Amino acid sequence: MTPRRFVLHAAWSTGLALLLGAPLGAAAQSSADPVPFYTSPDAVAGFHRGHTVPLAQAFADRSAALVLALQQHCAGGPGIEPARAAWTQTMLAWERLSAVAVGPLIERRSLREIDFQPMRPDLLKRMLAREPKSLADMARVGTPAKGLPALEHLLWVAPVTAGSPACSYSVLAAQAVQAEADALHQAFAALAADPPQEEASVPAFSEWVNQWLGGLERLRWANMEKPLREAATRGGAPAFPRAASGQTAAAWAQAWGSLRAVAVQGAAPVPAPGQGLITIETYLRGRGHLALADRWRDAVLQADGAMKNASPDQPARVDAAATALKSLTALMQRDVSTAMEVGIGFSSADGD
């Protein structure tokens, strides 16, 4: 694997700061603020330049750092904790990027390749016994036995030891994630450099609105509500994703932060057409739907408060957060998508 330089580019650091730290309260956009009229080409170009590219770059950088940390651990280096920390940062970067799974993420079926859930320990055990030696060998490994969930298992549930075949497998699995991350970064950078224009932008615009909703529902149902309901039926604790590493709440927060960044403007300046991320709220305002934009912002604020209170150890709070997200889904399906002139219809990739 080609070495990478870990450079915190200005565009990435600025975009990430806006994603994670933008306040949504008093400084939020108001109906009196001037907003340009945006077209679908503006929205698509701004989405890639202001959202997917910096997040894809961050994921590629974190993936490379994970490979390095595992290589050092497997060579007898500083122990497993740096590798665990690198996995955590990679996973959180992935949650931010994959929250709105558009374009290359769908075309490459990256959600299956990187984050197949639930991973299958029995299959992983069989794949470990094969002792793959290269990325070509890893290409023949089933997705439930590789990617981030398999690496989580090998770092926390059955921790790999230096010099072991399982440790070598973990390095290859991380290199496979890095290869996919690099491919995604290149593909999103190409889209930002040459975004679709006019008629070609219409399906791309529809895709990111639909995939925003698909990401919201994946967070609400697959990651939060479904494990809660299954636990209530069978008894025991909910089997939330990222539980083995103790990163469930952090993963929820990062996925929601990415969805929120696309949904509302917050304190960020209104972008010029095509130059930065045009949020759903701002697009509505630019089209003259001021009252609806206010309702949308208020619903996102309500969901934001519920998500901040969500804890995997407190089912009632998880249920409350899921209910708030479901209300947001209903508002998008009922009113917002109509105002944006987008038909709602989930793709086959939504549940991957």
pLDDT at residue 12, as a whole number: 37
| Distance (Å, whole) CA 133 – CA 171 | 10
The residue range of the domain holding 248 is 20-339
3 is a domain residue: no
- 247 versus 34: the higher-pLDDT residue is 247
Question: Is a pLDDT exceeding 60 seen at residue 113?
Answer: yes
Average pLDDT, the chain: 90
| Distance (Å, whole) CA 137 – CA 276 | 41
> Mapping DSSP to helix (H, G, I), strand (E, B) and coil, where does residue 311 land?
strand
8 is a domain residue: no
One DSSP character per residue, 159-177 reads ---TTSHHHHHHHHHHHHH
6 is a domain residue: no
The percent of residues in the chain predicted with pLDDT above 90, rounded, is: 84
Residues 256-276 have pLDDT tens digits of 999 999 999 988 889 988 789
40 is a domain residue: yes
Q: Which CATH number characterizes residue 182's domain? A: 1.20.1420.20
Count of C-beta atoms within a 10 Å radius of residue 128? 21
Reported residue count of the chain is 352
Residues 170-220 have pLDDT tens digits of 999 999 999 999 999 999 999 999 998 888 899 999 999 999 999 999 999
Report the greatest alpha carbon distance in the chain: 64
> Mapping DSSP to helix (H, G, I), strand (E, B) and coil, where does residue 61 land?
helix
Run of H or E residues at 294: helix 290-309
352 is a domain residue: no
Give me the mean pLDDT over the 74-91 stretch. 97
104 is a domain residue: yes
Question: Is a pLDDT exceeding 60 seen at residue 11?
Answer: no
Question: Is a pLDDT exceeding 60 seen at residue 2?
Answer: no
Residues 224-247 have pLDDT tens digits of 999 999 999 998 899 999 999 999
pLDDT at residue 197, as a whole number: 86
- 5 versus 46: the higher-pLDDT residue is 46
214 is a domain residue: yes
DSSP-derived secondary structure letter, 236: S
Beta carbons of 12 and 49 less than 8 angstroms apart: no
Give me the mean pLDDT over the 46-53 stretch. 96
34 burial level (CB within 10 Å; 0-12, 13-18, 19+): exposed
Which own/partner pairs from 222-225 qualify as long-range (CB within 8 Å, at least 24 positions apart)? 222/117, 222/351, 223/251, 223/252, 223/255, 224/252, 224/310, 224/318, 224/321, 224/322, 224/325, 225/318, 225/319, 225/322
For the chain, the domain total comes to 1
12 is a domain residue: no
